[in-house]
Amino acid sequence: MLTRPYYLEKLSTAIRRSPITALLGPRQCGKTTLARQFSQDKQAVIFDLESFPDQRRLQNPELVLGRLEGLVVLDEIQIIPELFQVLRVLVDRTDNKARYLILGSASPAILKSVSETLAGRVEFVELAGFDLAESGAAAWETLWLRGGFPRAFLSDSDDDSLNWREGFIRTFLERDIPQSGISLPPAAIRRFWTMLAHYHGQTWNAAELARSMGLTDKTARSYLDILTGTFMMRQLQPWFENLGKRQVKAPKVYFRDTGLLHALLDIPDKHSLYGHPKVGASWEGFVLEQVLRILNPSQAYFWATHSGAELDLVFLRGGKRYGIEVKFSEAPRVTASMRTAVSNLGLEHLWVVYPGEHISPVDEKITLWPLKKITELTPL
């Protein structure tokens, strides 16, 4: 088991500041384990709402919860949605002595309930799978291949990991997706998701994908938004401004977990991954997810023009613009496109992240940076 000190600290801060903390994330990303670790040295009561005995304990929730002090953990709270209203009543009482940690898989229903019922009373903490800061730099290839879901990453073998991911995909498609508002049968949704795997790292083209699925553009877009809301997909929005050039204004789509991407693309091991046509796109998505998770910029975009200039990631820090370009090469070259991005976007610095070993300044504002040392990257 890997410890997750960053998230434990975030939980500690959120619970100190707010009467209710919502720990959200995809199913099986480690929310329950983290909550139990956080509760170990505290006065805490934990309710698992998938447990029938715990459901019976909460048949009169206002009476039961109103008597508790310290930390109260409500796991899988979306199973009993009326608890949101009960929590609002309890935290507004002047004699309330409890802090509430609610856990749930992100979905439109739970986010709507929390936002509408508990507005001004709740702080959100988003939990994802393991990243390089948690797994260690030496494990980057395993993390890339298997993804960050704890059971997938920590499996005894690549075959065991792939088997777990296949099971996760089936459960997600058959149980979670229908609850999220997608009415297609699981087989059709798997086909939609597999098609998205082939679009990984590309600009979103709703018309093309909708036509192949027999859907309207609006429906295809709504399905992508639902998958984004459940932390399965990331839509990276474009940066555009008046530069006198025609710029791309559609988002790029990425799987947030490359382990699921590889399962949908039928990539079982590292040998198959390195020889697959989507290896470059997979690497790009993996690196961008690590950068966004570790640097945690307040705003992040990609930039591209119709003439061919592009940059994988533009982010803001301290009012300055920085750039990330991802290259799957041991010796990446500085391209004209990179220099154009530095000049046209007014970047403070551009890092080219690659799978090599050494940090190498190649220009006044451009540095080659190995993924293994991404936790050491600090915007100047």
Instruction: Supply the CATH number for residue 81's domain.
Output: 3.40.50.300
- Residue 288 sits in which domain range? 137-376
Tokens found for residue 22: 């919502």
Q: How many residues does the chain have?
A: 380
Integer Cα distance of 337 and 359 in angstroms: 21
Q: Is the per-residue pLDDT at 242 higher than 70?
A: no
Identify the DSSP state of 157: S
Would you list the DSSP string of 287-340? HHHHHHHHH--S-EEEEEBTTS-EEEEEEEETTEEEEEEE--SSSPPPPHHHHH
In a domain, 132, yes or no: no
108 shares a domain with 171 = no
187 shares a domain with 57 = no
Q: Is the per-residue pLDDT at 108 higher than 60?
A: no
- Chain segment 6-23, per-residue pLDDT in tens: 999 999 999 999 999 999
Q: Say what the pLDDT of residue 280 is.
A: 96
Integer Cα distance of 313 and 353 in angstroms: 11
357 shares a domain with 238 = yes
Q: Say what the pLDDT of residue 357 is.
A: 92
Q: Say what the pLDDT of residue 267 is.
A: 97
Q: Say what the pLDDT of residue 106 is.
A: 59
The angle subtended at Cα 105 by Cα 137 and Cα 27, nearest 5°, is: 50
At position 216, the amino acid (one-letter code) is T
H or E stretch covering 126 = strand 122-126
Q: Is the per-residue pLDDT at 1 higher than 70?
A: no
Identify the DSSP state of 374: G
Residue 36: φ, ψ to 5°: -70, -35
Domain boundary residue, one of 66, 93, 126: 126
183 shares a domain with 39 = no
Identify the DSSP state of 373: G
87 shares a domain with 148 = no
In a domain, 187, yes or no: yes
Q: Name the band, by pLDDT with cuts 50, 70 and 90, for residue 307.
A: confident
Give how many domains the chain has, as a whole number: 2
Integer Cα distance of 85 and 75 in angstroms: 16
Q: Say what the pLDDT of residue 162 is.
A: 97
Query: Does the pTM exceed 0.75?
Result: yes
In a domain, 131, yes or no: no
- Chain segment 314-347, per-residue pLDDT in tens: 999 988 999 999 999 998 999 999 999 999 899 9
At position 29, the amino acid (one-letter code) is C
